[in-house]
Amino acid sequence: MKNENLKIKNLQKEFKGGDTTCLELTERLLKKIKEKDGEIKAFLEVTEEMAVDQAEKIDKEGGFEGLKGIPVMIKDNILVEDVKATAASKMLEDYTAPYDATVVEKLKEAGVVILGKGNLDEFAMGGSTENSAFFPTKNPVDTEKVPGGSSGGPAAAVAAGMVSASLGTDTGGSVRQPASFCGVVGFKPSYGKVSRYGVIAMASSLDQVGPIANSVEDVTKIFNVIKGKDEKDATSVSRKSDFSKKEIKVGIPKEYFVEGVNQKVKETVEKAIGKIDSAGMKTVKISLPHTEYALACYQVIMASESSTNLARYDGIRYCSKNDQGKSGKMKDAYIKNRSDFGDETKRRIMLGTFALSSGYYDDYYMQAEKVRELIREDFRKAFEDLDIIITPTSPIPPFGIGEKIDDPLSIYLADMFTVPANLAGLPAISIPCPTDGLPVGIQLMGERFEDEKLLGIAEKIEKIIVK
Partner 1 sequence: MFNEEDILKIADLAHVSLRRGEMKSLKKDLSKILNYVEKLKEVDTSEVDFESISPIKNRIRKDEVVDFKKSKKEKMVGIEKNEDGYFEVGRI
CB of 420 to partner 1, least distance (A): 14
Q: Among 334, 361, 381, 435, indicate the residue that binds partner 1 (CB under 8 A).
A: 334
Active site residue 238: no
CB of 370 to partner 1, least distance (A): 4
Q: Which is nearer to partner 1, 225 or 368 (CB)?
A: 368
Residue 364 interacts with partner 1 (CB under 8 A): yes or no: yes
Q: Decide the pairing of beta strands 282-286 and 249-253.
A: parallel
Residue 323 interacts with partner 1 (CB under 8 A): yes or no: yes
Residue in 228, 230, 148 with CA at minimum distance from that of residue 184:
148
One-letter amino acid at 467 equals: K
One-letter amino acid at 78 equals: I
Residue 423 CA to residue 68 CA, distance in Å, equals: 34
Contact 80, 100 (CB under 8 A): yes
Residue 130 interacts with partner 1 (CB under 8 A): yes or no: no
CB of 376 to partner 1, least distance (A): 9
Footprint of partner 1 on residues 411-450 (CB under 8 A)? Answer: 412
Residue 40 CA to residue 51 CA, distance in Å, equals: 21
Footprint of partner 1 on residues 73-112 (CB under 8 A)? Answer: 94-96, 98-99
CB of 185 to partner 1, least distance (A): 30
Q: Among 70, 371, 390, 461, indicate the residue that binds partner 1 (CB under 8 A).
A: 371
Residue 52 interacts with partner 1 (CB under 8 A): yes or no: no
Neighbours of 317 (CB within 10 A): 8
Q: Which is nearer to partner 1, 270 or 363 (CB)?
A: 363
Q: Which of the ranges 45-53, 240-248, 273-281, 319-327 carries the binding residues for partner 1, by CB under 8 A?
A: 319-327
Residue 155 CA to residue 356 CA, distance in Å, equals: 34
Residue 50 interacts with partner 1 (CB under 8 A): yes or no: no
Q: Which of 128, 132, 150, 151 is catalytic?
A: 150
Residue length, the chain?
A: 467
Q: Which of 75, 145, 321, 404 is catalytic?
A: 75
Residue 238 interacts with partner 1 (CB under 8 A): yes or no: no
CB of 57 to partner 1, least distance (A): 18
Active site residue 329: no
- Count of residues engaged in binding partner 1, rule: CB under 8 A: 58
Residue 311 interacts with partner 1 (CB under 8 A): yes or no: yes
Site string for partner 1, 278-307 (x = CB under 8 A): ------------x-xx-xxx-xx------x
Contact 87, 77 (CB under 8 A): yes
Chain centroid to CA 110: 21
Q: Which is nearer to partner 1, 271 or 346 (CB)?
A: 346
Q: Which of 166, 174, 306, 307 is catalytic?
A: 174
Residues 6+ apart with CB under 8 A from 208: 169, 170, 171, 188, 189, 190, 191, 193, 194, 196, 422
CB of 431 to partner 1, least distance (A): 30
Q: Among 368, 431, 454, 458, indicate the residue that binds partner 1 (CB under 8 A).
A: 368
CB of 102 to partner 1, least distance (A): 13
In terms of C-beta density within 10 A (0-12 exposed, 13-18 middle, 19 or more buried), how is residue 116 classed?
buried
CB of 257 to partner 1, least distance (A): 20
Active site residue 244: no
Q: Which of the ranges 38-46, 70-78, 243-251, 347-355 carries the binding residues for partner 1, by CB under 8 A?
A: 347-355
Contact 102, 233 (CB under 8 A): yes
Residue 362 CA to residue 374 CA, distance in Å, equals: 17
Q: Which of the ranges 6-14, 32-40, 275-283, 368-376 carries the binding residues for partner 1, by CB under 8 A?
A: 368-376
N-term to C-term CA, the chain: 12
Q: Which of the ranges 172-180, 339-347, 393-401, 426-434 carries the binding residues for partner 1, by CB under 8 A?
A: 339-347
Residue 347 interacts with partner 1 (CB under 8 A): yes or no: yes
Contact 344, 122 (CB under 8 A): yes
CB of 258 to partner 1, least distance (A): 15
Q: Which is nearer to partner 1, 51 or 351 (CB)?
A: 351
Residue 315 interacts with partner 1 (CB under 8 A): yes or no: yes
Residue ranges binding partner 1 (CB under 8 A): 94-96, 98-99, 231, 234, 290, 292-293, 295-297, 299-300, 307, 311, 314-316, 320, 322-324, 328-331, 333-336, 338-339, 341, 343, 346-347, 349-351, 353-354, 357, 363-364, 366-374, 408-409, 412
Catalytic residues: 75, 150, 174
